[in-house]
Chains A and B, each alone.
Chain A
Amino acid sequence: MNMRTIAAITRKDVVDAIRNRYLLTALITPLFVALLFRVLLPGDGSRSLLNIVVHDPGNSTLVAELRNTPQMKVVEADSADAIASEVEKRKAIGGLVVPANFDADVAAGKQPELTIYVNNKKSVFEQSAFRRLLDQQVRSLVQHPAPARLVWIDVDKESNEQSRGGVGLGQMLLPLLLIMTLGMIGAMVVPLLLVEEKEKRTLDFLLSSPASLREIVAGKALTGVAYTILIAGLLLVINRQLVGNWLLTLLSILFGLVFVVSIGLVMGSLLNNMMQVNTWASSVLIVLLAPTFPSLALPAAVETAMRLVPTYYLSEALKLSLAGSAPSRVWGHLAVVLVCSVIAFGAATWALRNRS
């Protein structure tokens, strides 16, 4: 592959995309939303933790994990009966009653009952975050034993709560906006760059020039990468106080980028005109974004379906990375995204080879 040719195509596309009103709108929408929320809700950058009251006579692994969750502050209640009043008194998001033999029952596959209180006076965003976190923790218990990190949490909890993350609107919004950026690039920008060349017959010119099809596609992919880096970078800079772990956050974006650009190349190779791209882009974007929206008491089947979409894992990886979680909690999600990216890249290669 000739880098000079790829660079020429990328340079042309980067400039040309800004002049395309449709693409420009797609590119700046996440930035616009981020700025809008900063203007409308200037105080949202402060991180409120989710206070949760628990009664856990058996010192369960679940509660240990909750203590290890950067977004949560766990407070003990003396008895199960006191949970409701403690939740109200402490203005906590909710409460949890864990049976004494919870761990043993889980290990035996008995599915012990958990009683969960949710404070309805709290915002829907906080309630949603609470539900999601709790759900995530319970599932992780079944999948693999929780590691013991109690000492670490105790220190961190007292010394620097502000830096441990929270669930303010900004923090719920940032992963959504980052995935929206990736979605726009994958579902709209990359396919449009390819399809417009077909539709306007400029692809004929490119193919009669020294550029090979592989170089043309690489140029388009690189344009998508360049715009993602620019917009995601700006989003992170604007919301820098919300980034807990920069390295993991950037890694999550990078993995997501490979995935969405591959999706874009598949779409670009299969579709033939801009009308088709517009039609398909909306559907693909909805599917990609759906798992990243705060779940507001969705049916279990829908929640399960969301887990089939790779952006669910990307969203989880981003939320945990932004919250400053330990890498061990993020790797699993990133691994799923990476596998999906490899599959999508393979599909893109196959589609392009077939279409050429």
Chain B
Amino acid sequence: MNRTLALPVVVALATIAATLGVTAGTARGYPQFQMSRDQTCTGCHVSPAGGGLLTENGLTTAEAISQWGTAPELFYNKIPRPSWLALGGDLRGASGYVATPEQLLAAFPMQAELYGHATFGGGVSLYADLGARVSEVGKETTTFAWSREHYLMWQQKPGETAGLFVRAGRFMPVFGLRIAEHPSYIRKWGGTPLYAETYGLAVEYVQPRFEVHATGFIKDPLLDTPEHSNGGALLAEYRVSERLSVGAEGMYTQSTDDKKIRAGVLAKLYLSGAETLLQLEGQFMNQLIEPRGAPKQIIAYLDASRFLGSATMVDLGLNFFDENLQISQLHREAVDLNLHWFSTSHLEAIFTGRFEMLAFGKAGPSAGYALVQLHYRL
């Protein structure tokens, strides 16, 4: 490849990687496992909101659903560690075809993070991660790493999955379905975009029958993150039966430029006959822009997940976003297809594809991508 051609290609691929927000993605568990395997996120994760480090039960689940098993612990349990310390990590990368609408082949790293959870007496623990991130232009050597999440947690019933949890520190406000796929509209435009962790205090009560999460937060005073607002979020979920849960959510944020009020509903229904989990979230958002302007938005997501055999899971997600209900043809739609193959307890391969339209093709060019993602959990 000659230099004249190489430079634009490199720049284009770097921009694609940056735009997709994938040079240091976030690791989250799959809400799809809820209902079909465990009733609450705490069934598999240290965090009461889910995501990140797995519990012993989470490790067992990772082994049980994988094609070839293997010891699910960190480095196959070859490294001794004290009982009060849990360690883990995630590595991800992806490659594939992107059309937005320019058509390119791209390959990029997504995530390199280590997690630690130290448990002290009295139900007190410290959770922290350390990983690579998108560096600041011109300061690459000093801004390539960060701790996306770090918080102190008090748990009413240490070692159990239910009870009262209080967290203080840096983490994502607890809101919505909390799915792993950050390009989904309910995350991108739904109040929890990639890297929108804030400093906050969360009071969370989790029971098999219901759970409530209340978070107050302020924007990061040290780093310029996507969340420039202070605010609060409330999420409540009630499990009507072992197969059905319904929830409600609200979030208020205020920055120097605008205020946002979000209200929404969510539901999960496990169809045991079809072995399919349906997940739904719908949000209404009213944005107040100074000095004038008040767009009202709808963000919606419907996902169907099904295990195909013992180690394969397929997701079909429908995204809808209307950025201003008062103006026609400002809505967009996306269909997401994800196929997960859990080969070992640690290694997962994911085909992820998207087709996106603007007002069903009437308001601009369509876009899409087809990527293969590899995920290695340490």
Q: Do A and B come from one complex?
A: no
